[in-house]
Structure 1
Amino acid sequence: MMVATGEAAGFAALCRSLRGFRRVAVAFSGGVDSSLLLAAALEVHGDQVLALHGRSPLQAPGEYDKAMAVAAALGCRPLVLELDPYAWPEVTANSEQRCYHCKHRLYQFFLAQAATRDRVVLLDGTNLSDLGKERPGLVAIRELGVKTPLAQGGLTKGVVRALARWRGLANWDKPAASCLATRIMGRQPLTRDKIALVARGEAFLLEKKFPGSRFRHWGGLCRIEVRGDDFSRLTSAAIWLEIEDFCRGLGFERVEGGIRPPEG
């Protein structure tokens, strides 16, 4: 467990833990966890690090460009794999195990790409705070033998953000950006049309200055979730009327608002 001896010492401890690996690949989503992990891996192993990014239509709008910008700032050019999750029936069924199936597929692709490039270890940015949550994707990570240095080193989400800020990563305070499939009601099949509506909705909310918001597609109901600090503005008469009109224009029968729960 990392002790509170300052960010420089914390980053140095993370780097020391990575020296035990050779010929590494990093699963790089562009979030703060994988960005810190990539920065440390590059510090230790230099240009032998293989960064792997899965580009998917289930990514929130703009996430791919943001990820590439972070990688470029680190002097890294990820290998981008184009994914088609709509071709994965176990994922589009949208069961409680959707994240397990999706992560298993994705990391199998990553491991295959790493092997063809003589990388023997795949690293993932799971942090210690993630382990206390019900996340089926973590089961897939363990089954495939993927290493999680942040969690193993005792780094919580708060510590990761502090180290990322110290390291100068532009996305150190980036809100969680889970995939758009999380916005669809469970057991309702994932379709391109539903995901497109969610993407349009979240782009609209961002235009209205609601960063980190969620536009949830629950059949005929559209649920808008925003950060706690933004809730009073969301429910103001003028803003809420505009949002209701937008949602009804997309075909939703009912619209409700709430506060977004934390996602790590």
Structure 2
Amino acid sequence: MFTMDLFSGIGRLGVAFSGGVDSSVLLALAVRELGPDRVVAILGVSPSLAADEREGAHAVARFIGVAVAEVNTFEGERDAYRANGPDRCFHCKDELFTRIADEVVTAYRLDAVAYGENADDARRADRPGGRAAAAHRVLRPLADAGLDKAAVRRLAREFGLPCADKPAAPCLASRIPHFEPVSPEKLAQVERAEAALRGLGFGDLRVRHHGDVARIELPPDDLERAVRDPLRSRLRAAVLAAGFRFAALDVAGVQSGAFTLPLVRRG
């Protein structure tokens, strides 16, 4: 069993929690070291969080045995967030950590707040949320311990977490091209389309919002079956029902950082 002193000197810890693999492993490690009564999972709720992701986060927290504190975030009221530049994640995380500081830290008598950045993400140029974490003195125990994505996945399986094999699920705003404004209507379209595709049996996927066009990213194996009827027709109908006029399959497959990485590399 993995052991490491990641939380030395902390009496009560809040974990910024999404139900994804990274934050779930961090939460499980914190509970193992501090005990469930000294750890709180903090879930930010806004239109950028899909309903099934919210439900899944609660399920993982129940499995780990820790309480969830939901905090409403209002990044959509920030002009810089809606403008959707490459630093959008900074404004989102800054809103989250501000709300946590204002509403959760005192209420739960927390000594510190941590989030689940891993060592791989800490090295990526398209993760401006890390600047917000640093500004708010939010801890990043996984990255500081040198735990990369592969190590975090191994721990998730070792702990038997229900999200151990869950695909990465960035927030819904990541589906909108930079400099195209983020709006609740676009986020809802993407959420409806992705939920419908999951209902058709697709797991790892993205629906990128290009106005009337939904650009669908799927793993290679899923691409092959997505173009065969009757699934092809059902996929198209599901996307059109979400409010798009056209459904396009991207043969490049699922692309992490598809909108942000080209911009930060160019800069």
Per the normalisation by structure 2, the TM-score is 0.88
The amino acid that maps onto 2:11 is R
2:15 aligns with 26
The amino acid that maps onto 2:25 is L
Residue 219 in structure 1 maps to residue 211 in structure 2: yes
Match of 1:166 among 147, 153, 158: 158
Residue 138 in structure 1 maps to residue 130 in structure 2: yes
In 1: Cα distance, 2:76 partner to 2:26 partner: 29
In 1: Cα distance, 2:243 partner to 2:12 partner: 51
Q: Which runs of 4+ in 1 moved over 6 A?
A: none
Superposed CA deviations along residues 65-117 of structure 1, whole A, max 9, x for unmatched, are 11111111122111111233332332122222111101011011112321343
In 2: Cα distance, 1:99 partner to 1:125 partner: 15
Matches within 5 A, 1:82-161: 82-112=72-102, 113-133=104-124, 134-161=126-153
In 2: Cα distance, 1:224 partner to 1:58 partner: 18
Q: How much has 1:247 moved relative to structure 2?
A: 3.4
In 1: Cα distance, 2:22 partner to 2:53 partner: 14
2:71 aligns with 81
Change (3 A) 1:104 1:237: same
Match of 1:261 among 238, 251, 255: 255
1:49 aligns with 39
Q: Alignment RMSD, CA only?
A: 1.8
The amino acid that maps onto 1:209 is G
In 1: Cα distance, 2:49 partner to 2:83 partner: 18
In 2: Cα distance, 1:250 partner to 1:262 partner: 23
Give unmatched runs, 5+ long, in structure 1: 1-7
Q: How much has 1:211 moved relative to structure 2?
A: 0.7
**Higher percent of residues as helix:** 1
- Segment of structure 1 superposing worse, 145-154 or 110-119: 110-119
Q: How much has 1:201 moved relative to structure 2?
A: 0.4
Superposed CA deviations along residues 136-168 of structure 1, whole A, max 9, x for unmatched, are 111111222111110010101111111111112
2:260 aligns with none
Contact 1:60/1:177 (8 A) holds in 2? no
Contact 2:15/2:114 (8 A) holds in 1? yes
Match of 2:27 among 22, 38, 42: 38
Contact 1:124/1:146 (8 A) holds in 2? yes
In 2: Cα distance, 1:81 partner to 1:251 partner: 29
Superposed CA deviations along residues 19-71 of structure 1, whole A, max 9, x for unmatched, are 34333211111111111111111112121222211122211230111111111
SS in structure 1 of the partner of residue 177 of structure 2: coil
Change (3 A) 1:241 1:126: same
Q: Percent of pairs identical after alignment?
A: 36
The amino acid that maps onto 1:218 is H
The amino acid that maps onto 2:95 is R
SS in structure 2 of the partner of residue 229 of structure 1: helix
1:4 aligns with none
Give unmatched runs, 5+ long, in structure 2: 258-267
